[in-house]
């Protein structure tokens, strides 16, 4: 196997003394630790120091996008306090007594999403993704939470413009975002 080496690369002679080996190892460890710390701080969201939003501090809403699109819901979470706080970047949306929650689209891991005082985060939920199958279920309510640790707010099907129930098949949700668009 061949590796590309830059033109200025010059191999160093082997280090044989214990002191030199210790010094080289310590320098490498310091460099590695510095790089790891720099990488972690560059990828850690600024919200990591923001306290989690208590559920009581949030106003959660849900509505149908339009009567023509009953399988698409708009949800929001508003910080009603005077201090910033953090929710999970992925809304937790569950459907009646069915197991599981809407999957994030695009797929992602849990992470904090900072909400400024009075700010609102928005997301879109598709209750039916792709073609419905014979396994499509109908539920009488959904529950929306801004964080998986919260109980969430329950919304009845009729309040969401679906008097005959909410159809559910492979549901997805967007991440929270600052605009409803």
Instruction: Give yes or no: residues 138 and 81 share one domain.
Output: yes
Residue with tokens 């005077």: 82
Instruction: Give yes or no: residues 111 and 76 share one domain.
Output: yes
Tell me if 70 is assigned to some domain.
yes
Tell me if 80 is assigned to some domain.
yes
Instruction: Give yes or no: residues 35 and 94 share one domain.
Output: no
Tell me if 6 is assigned to some domain.
no
Dump pLDDT digits (tens) for 14-54: 444 444 444 444 444 343 333 333 333 222 344 457 999 99
Tell me if 7 is assigned to some domain.
no
pLDDT of residue 48: 56
Instruction: Give yes or no: residues 77 and 35 share one domain.
Output: no
Q: What is the CATH number of the domain that holds 64?
A: 2.60.40
Instruction: Give yes or no: residues 30 and 59 share one domain.
Output: no
List of residues 6+ apart from 44 with CB closer than 8 A: none
Tell me if 144 is assigned to some domain.
yes
Tell me if 151 is assigned to some domain.
yes
pLDDT tens for each residue of the chain, 181 residues long:
333 333 333 333 444 444 444 444 444 434 333 333 333 322 234 445 799 999 999 999 999 978 778 799 999 999 999 999 999 999 999 999 999 999 999 999 999 999 999 999 999 999 998 777 788 999 999 999 999 999 999 999 999 988 899 999 999 999 999 998 7
Count of structural domains, the chain: 2
18 burial (CB, 10 Å; 0-12 / 13-18 / 19+) is exposed
Asked if 114 contacts 50 with a C-beta cutoff of 8 angstroms, the reply is yes
Instruction: Give yes or no: residues 40 and 59 share one domain.
Output: no
Q: How far apart are CA 40 and CA 24, in angstroms?
A: 24
Domain that holds residue 141: 55-173
């Amino acid at each position: 196997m061949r590796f590309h080496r830059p033109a200025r690369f010059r191999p160093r002679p082997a280090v044989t003394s214990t002191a030199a080996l210790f010094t080289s190892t310590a320098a490498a460890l310091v460099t590695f630790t510095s790089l790891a710390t720099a990488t972690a701080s560059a990828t850690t969201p600024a919200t990591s120091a923001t306290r989690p939003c208590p559920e009581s501090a949030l106003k959660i809403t849900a509505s149908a996008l339009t009567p023509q699109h009953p399988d698409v819901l708009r949800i929001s979470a508003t910080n009603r306090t005077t201090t910033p706080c953090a929710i999970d970047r992925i809304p937790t949306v569950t459907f009646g007594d069915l197991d599981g929650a809407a999957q994030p689209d695009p797929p992602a891991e849990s992470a904090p999403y900072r909400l400024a005082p009075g700010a609102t985060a928005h997301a879109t939920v598709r209750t039916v993704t792709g073609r419905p199958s014979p396994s499509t279920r109908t539920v009488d309510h959904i529950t929306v939470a801004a964080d998986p640790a919260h109980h969430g707010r329950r919304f009845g099907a009729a309040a969401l413009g679906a008097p005959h129930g909410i159809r559910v098949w492979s549901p997805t949700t967007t991440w929270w975002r600052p605009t409803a668009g």
